[in-house]
């Protein structure tokens, strides 16, 4: 029984490294890209009773791909920060010894490999995007996060690439709709910028910059109106919810840039990515699809009670 308990604790530790709550936010990116590619009608058709699953195969592979890419990326975050975490965050799995550095490295590499292999089942372009995302994630973990403004941009590129990975369900549309990546790039840059004060506290100016970037994101999602079948009326309720969640949290972090306040703002910012994605998805595919994407939020919040988000 004692051996079984130790093994269970070890498995739990490696799950903690993967940050399951965050992986669902990556799923939301894929669902947005899928909608932007015009493929969301396939999902809605299945939802109302056509149970032919073969048209959904690309979506399944891309969801598996992003799970591997995001999971592998955050595992390597703890691998590269192992020594620093022994000082600043000794409660994490590697510093406590519940997960080994070798085990975490193997897990991260395996997850990234799964992410690329799954994307390759959709198209060569999808595989190329997955490789680029994996490389960007590792660069961020190893170097980018310590390079001032380049860190937020680096992380933003990971999430923007993830949205385009969803678009690659229809490879021909990636070059046509590449600009959509700019929205998560700007937003995640805001979240990453404010997160730089999680341990020692941040700066008021950083919080104000993050607020400005969020407002720019809101302008961006409404400016898509008129692009194909994009309808801003469907976007409105989701965008309102997004603003109500993120702006007060970021404003509080700007007013009181203490580690605790910033950690709460970052957690809100990460989970609210699902709401942002729901808003864009609703614009491309209607409010029922946006509501389906938003359904990931309570699941992610439930997992966030069990696993760390930051």
Per-residue b or e along 229-260, where b marks 16 or more CB atoms closer than 10 Å to that residue's CB: ebbbebbebbbebbbebbbebbbbbbeebeee
The count of residues in the chain is 310
Q: Which residue has the higher pLDDT, 308 or 275?
A: 275
pTM of the model: 0.86
Q: For residue 49, is pLDDT > 80?
A: no
- pLDDT band, residue 150 (cuts 50/70/90): confident
pLDDT the model gives residue 146: 73
Quote the percentage of the chain above a pLDDT of 70. 87
pLDDT at 48: 47
Average pLDDT, the chain: 87
Of 166, 130, 169, give the one whose Cα is nearest residue 31. Answer: 166
Q: Using one digit for the tens of pLDDT, what is the confidence trace for 231-247? A: 889 999 999 999 999 99
Report how far residue 253's alpha carbon sits from residue 267's, in angstroms, rounded to the nearest whole number. Answer: 12
Distance CA 177, CA 169 (A): 12
- pLDDT, average across residues 38-66: 70
CATH topology of domain 19-304: Tetracycline Repressor; domain 2 (1.10.357)
pLDDT, residue 6, reads 57
Tens-place pLDDT, residues 201-216: 566 777 788 889 999 9
Q: Quick one: CA dihedral 246, 35, 44, 303, positive or negative?
A: negative
DSSP notation for 272-292: THHHHHHHHHHHHH-HHHHHH
Residue 12 in this model has a pLDDT that exceeds 60: yes
DSSP letter assigned to residue 147: S
What are the boundaries of each domain within the chain? 19-304
**Percentage with pLDDT > 90 across the chain:** 55
More confident residue, 97 or 55: 97
């Amino acid at each position: 029984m004692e051996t079984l308990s130790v093994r269970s604790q070890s498995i739990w530790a490696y799950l903690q490294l993967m940050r399951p709550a965050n992986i669902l936010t990556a799923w939301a990116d894929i669902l947005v890209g899928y909608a932007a590619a015009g493929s969301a009608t396939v999902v809605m058709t299945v939802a109302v009773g056509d149970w032919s699953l073969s048209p959904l195969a690309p979506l399944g592979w891309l969801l598996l791909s992003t799970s591997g890419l995001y999971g592998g990326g955050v595992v390597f975050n703890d691998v590269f920060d192992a020594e620093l975490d022994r000082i600043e965050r000794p409660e994490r799995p590697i510093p406590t010894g519940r997960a080994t550095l070798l085990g975490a490295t193997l897990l991260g590499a395996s997850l990234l490999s799964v992410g690329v292999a799954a994307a390759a089942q959709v198209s060569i372009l999808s595989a190329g995007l997955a490789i680029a995302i994996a490389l960007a994630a590792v660069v961020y973990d190893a170097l980018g996060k310590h390079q001032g403004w380049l860190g937020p941009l680096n992380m933003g590129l990971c999430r923007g690439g993830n949205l385009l990975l969803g678009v690659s369900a229809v490879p021909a549309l990636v070059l046509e709709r590449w600009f959509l990546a700019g929205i998560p790039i700007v937003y995640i840059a805001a979240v990453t910028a404010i997160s730089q004060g999680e341990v020692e506290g941040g700066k008021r100016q950083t919080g104000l910059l993050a607020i400005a970037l969020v407002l720019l994101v809101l302008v961006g999602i409404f400016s898509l109106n008129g692009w194909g079948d994009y309808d801003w009326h469907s976007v409105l309720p989701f965008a309102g919810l997004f603003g109500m969640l993120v702006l007060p949290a970021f404003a509080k972090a700007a007013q009181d840039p203490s580690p605790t306040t910033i950690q709460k703002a970052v957690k809100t910012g990460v989970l609210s990515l699902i709401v942002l994605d729901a808003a864009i998805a609703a614009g491309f595919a209607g409010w029922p699809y946006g509501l389906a994407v938003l359904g990931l939020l309570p699941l992610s919040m439930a997992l966030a009670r069990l696993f760390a988000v930051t």
